Amino acid sequence: MTTVIERLVTGWTSATDATVQMLVRACSVRSLSERFAAHRLTPDVVLTRHRHWLLAGDAVVAMAGARPVGLLNLVDDPLRPRTTDLALLVVDDVQRRGVATGLLAHALGGPARAGWTVRATVRADNRAAVALLRTQALGPVRLASSDAGELTYEIAIPA
């Protein structure tokens, strides 16, 4: 039997207005709402009111050919040294195919982020994000806080 290993992501690029727009338009209301821990966010609402968050900080897009399929944002905390806030969004039709895992390894796996703490806040009912954060390979993870249906995880990347 022959095993075919599919490589979905072909490259990485910095987010632009154009890639963010394509990505958001390919996402469901559910995924967009989970990304912002909010309710009923349509692509139009996200692009009108929340676009700046998708371009914030280190904003890395995973490309599958000419198509943007995932976005990672890292916004460094000005009050806590070597601490950064993580957010992820992967388009629905390629979820569970390793895009977020690849984004994490690409953006956080190198020496520049060694010794950093990565913080992510997700809704408690966001099973995909909770599972991803608990099983990622960057470093040990702990539940830092749980409040009003939101969980904040902290990943300690080894120095």
Note the residues at the interface with ligand COA (CB under 6 A).
31, 34-35, 87-90, 95-101, 120, 122, 126-129, 131-132, 135
- The three-class DSSP label of residue 106 is helix
Residue closest to ligand COA (Cβ): 100
CB 64 within 8 A of CB 94: yes
Of residues 24 and 88, the one with the C-beta less far from ligand COA: 88
Minimum Å gap between C-beta 88 and ligand COA is: 4
Least distance from ligand COA to the Cβ atom of residue 35, Å:
4
Q: Please answer whether residues 100 and 90 qualify as being in contact, where contact means their C-beta atoms are separated by less than 8 angstroms.
A: yes
CB of 5 to ligand COA, least distance (A): 14
* C-beta closer to ligand COA: residue 7 or 159: 7
**Those residues with Cβ within 8 angstroms of residue 34's Cβ, 6 or more apart along the chain or in another chain:** 122, 123, 126, 128, 129
At 109, list the tokens: 């796996």
**Which residues 6+ apart lie within 8 Å of 147 measured at CB?**
none
Nearer to ligand COA, 140 or 159 (CB): 140
